[in-house]
Amino acid sequence: MAHEVVERVEQIGPKLAALADENEKLGKLSGETVALLREAGVMRLLQPKRHGGYAAHPRDFAEAVMAVARHDGAAGWVCGVVGVHPWEIAQMDPRVGQEIWGENQDVWAASPYMPNGIADPVDGGYVLSGRWPFSSGTDHCDWVFLGALVGDGKGKPASPPAVMHVVLPRSDYEIVQDSWNVIGLSGTGSKDVVVDKAFLPAHRTVDQDEVSGGEAALRNGVEEPLYRLPFTSMFPLGITAAVIGICEGGLEAHLAAQRDRVTVIGVQVRDDPYVLSAAGEAAAEIAASRVQLIEGISALHERVAAGETPTMEDRARIRRNQVRCAWRAVSALDEIFARSGGNVIRRDNPLQRFWRDAHVGLQHMIHVPGSAYHSSTLSQMGIELPPQLRVMV
């Protein structure tokens, strides 16, 4: 049975689709799109119940992201990225959730997590400076998660390096408005953010390794299985779900166009076995990607709910499959795009936007296949992963 949020997304789907072109031209989500997403409750799926959220199964989150992306890839991407941040907020010092949602439970937080800043220790916390690209949906967010290296007190990284995730309010960072000019996922508005010597209270920080292993949740008295899943399984989930949803949308656009298409030699495409065969194969590949992604996170959730700690091999296998899901789905989309005829390149054909969005989605670091496949194979061999491979597992 579909979660009520997924059902609401399906109801507003045509409205989301109608706004997709506008979002692309704006270079960010429109106010109307944001209002629809708030109404549907997508960003509250992983939000803790004490702050008005659903604390839903991660499967429901992935399905909601796919449903949005099937109508508008950019909106789905923002849901996949911004929608996972309530999951991490739930694991932090309780003061953080109260600061963010105490007055308004619909407040959103952006990111990115790459450690592009230095957080120098001072009394009561840190002083943070840096510049971070790719802050998806940031124009509609009042807070931001950022990755930061702990400093040595002199503006340089401490040794050995230590990475934190830190949270800042909108008043402490600047959005660089002209920093997002791209060929796909334009509507995500994934602009740069800049922080210049902002004070960061210690309670708004969390060690990256503690989030990766579920220790942060337990330390703060959070016992629900949802919030003890590894960061390296949950954060990729939303992004890959968006890519799969985009490919599902592209498939739907392809089938709608081919139903009555006639080729230059007068043959109806519905009578062309080669095009139809390719579409059937692509549909199977995209469906397989959906199933494998959901199966992986569901199995991990079951293990944690049973009181077990996922092994590194478990985590590496799920990461491997998650990466492969994205590449499999986009490869399938390529096959049908190549058989969609000359008119597919026109700006008013939605398939070309899905195709561009999907390929830009593959450029995210969580979709780099080499290290994910490498890590999984080593784990299957019983070989301990070196530090540089453990980071994303």
Query: What residues form DSSP beta bridges with 126?
Result: 121, 200
**Cα–Cα distance measured from residue 181 to residue 110, given in angstroms and rounded to the nearest whole number:** 19
- Per-residue pLDDT tens over the stretch 7-64: 999 999 999 999 999 999 999 999 999 999 999 999 999 999 999 999 999 999 999 9
**58-69 helix and 273-305 helix, angle to the nearest 10 degrees:** 150
Check residue 213 and give its pLDDT: 81
**Type of residue numbered 362:** L
Check residue 262 and give its pLDDT: 76
- Backbone region of residue 192 per phi and psi (left: phi > 0; alpha: psi in -120 to 50; beta: other values): beta
**Residue 264's pLDDT band (cuts 50, 70, 90):** low
Tell me, yes or no, if the pTM score tops 0.85.
Answer: yes
Query: What residues form DSSP beta bridges with 144?
Result: 110, 168
Check residue 62 and give its pLDDT: 98
Per-residue pLDDT for 91 more than 80? yes
Tell me the fold of 229-390.
Butyryl-CoA Dehydrogenase, subunit A; domain 3 (1.20.140)
**Cα–Cα distance measured from residue 104 to residue 16, given in angstroms and rounded to the nearest whole number:** 24
Name, in order, each residue with C-beta under 8 angstroms of 212's C-beta and a sequence gap of 6 or more: 230, 231, 232
Check residue 342 and give its pLDDT: 85
Q: With CA atoms as reference, report the closest residue to 241 among 393, 109, 77.
A: 77
- What does the domain layout of the chain look like in residue ranges? 4-106, 109-208, 229-390
Check residue 6 and give its pLDDT: 98
CATH homologous superfamily for the domain 4-106? Acyl-CoA dehydrogenase/oxidase, N-terminal domain (1.10.540.10)
**Type of residue numbered 210:** E
DSSP 223: -
CB 303 within 8 A of CB 314: yes
- Per-residue pLDDT tens over the stretch 163-172: 999 999 999 9
Check residue 235 and give its pLDDT: 97
Check residue 273 and give its pLDDT: 84
Check residue 265 and give its pLDDT: 64
Higher pLDDT, 328 or 259: 328
Check residue 177 and give its pLDDT: 97
- Per-residue pLDDT tens over the stretch 99-145: 999 999 999 999 999 999 999 999 999 999 999 999 999 999 999 99
If you average pLDDT over every residue of the chain, what do you get? Answer: 95
**Residue 216's pLDDT band (cuts 50, 70, 90):** very high
Check residue 36 and give its pLDDT: 98
- Per-residue pLDDT tens over the stretch 289-308: 999 999 999 999 999 999 99
Phi, psi of 129 (to 5 degrees): -145, 150
Check residue 255 and give its pLDDT: 93
Tell me the fold of 109-208.
Butyryl-CoA Dehydrogenase, subunit A; domain 2 (2.40.110)
**Type of residue numbered 154:** K
Name, in order, each residue with C-beta under 8 angstroms of 44's C-beta and a sequence gap of 6 or more: 5, 52, 53, 54, 86, 105, 106
* Strand runs labelled E in the chain: 109-110, 115-122, 125-135, 143-150, 163-169, 174-176, 191-201, 205-207
**Residue 391's pLDDT band (cuts 50, 70, 90):** confident
Q: Provide the token pair at 392.
A: 């994303």
Q: With CA atoms as reference, report the closest residue to 89 among 143, 128, 133.
A: 143
Q: With CA atoms as reference, report the closest residue to 239 among 112, 354, 361, 363.
A: 361
- Per-residue pLDDT tens over the stretch 269-280: 787 888 889 999
